[in-house]
Amino acid sequence: MAQDELTQEEGKKKGGLLKWIIIAVVLIALGVGGWFGYKMFFAAPPEDAAATQDAGGDAGKPAESLEGQLVPLPTFLVNLADPLGRRYLKLGVEVEVRDEEAQAALAKYEAKIKDTLLLLLSSKSYDGLSTMQAKVELKQEIADRLNQIIGNGGVLRVYITEMVIQ
């Protein structure tokens, strides 16, 4: 009987110590997670990083941070490449260009741009345009095609202003 009491006391001591170790590990994990969340989402960027961005000017900025002028393109209405050819796409697009030179190039090469975008859009199918990822890829394809035509990376972004698939 004395032996049973002795083993029960050892079991309680081990269980109590294990409980405190688990609590300590959980508290440390919460603290590290809170610190990481604060640094990533709430803390201001370091001063030296902000200074290097300001000193760089426009030449050091990526295309996403540059601001340009919005130029509307004509609305495109094409048959989609679906079986039986009964679906069509109506697409309104505005293009953000880098400067006046790129804007002039869009006007100069309007026929090439219409031809290129009509061929691109008519090669798409309903399934190829129905997801959000497909729409983002379409915007990137349009930007790439326009940059090939006007050159010099003049197109910064493409915005879809109207999209109807029927």
Residue recorded with tokens 């919005």: 70
More confident residue, 1 or 146: 146
CB atoms within 10 A of CB 87: 17
SS3 content of the chain, % helix, strand, coil (to 5): 60, 15, 20
Nearest one of 101, 63, 71 to 161, comparing CA atoms: 71
More confident residue, 151 or 20: 20
From 30-39, 41-50, 105-114, 118-127, the region with the lowest mean pLDDT? 41-50
Confidence of residue 132 (pLDDT cuts 50, 70, 90): very high
**Is pLDDT of 112 > 60?**
yes
Span 4-31, pLDDT tens digits: 555 555 555 666 888 999 999 999 999 9
**Is pLDDT of 127 > 70?**
yes
- The most distant pair of C-alpha atoms in the chain lies apart, rounded to whole Å, by 101
Phi, psi of 63 (to 5 degrees): -60, -30
Residue recorded with tokens 């790129």: 102
Span 52-108, pLDDT tens digits: 454 444 444 454 556 788 999 999 999 998 887 788 999 999 999 998 899 999 999
Q: How far apart are CA 152 and CA 101, in angstroms?
A: 10
pLDDT of residue 66: 60
Q: Residue 28: left if φ>0, alpha if ψ -120 to 50, beta else—which one?
A: alpha
pLDDT of residue 60: 46
Can you give the pTM of this predicted structure?
Answer: 0.60
In contact, 93 and 159? CB cutoff 8 Å = yes
Signed CA dihedral, 119, 121, 124, 125: sign only = negative
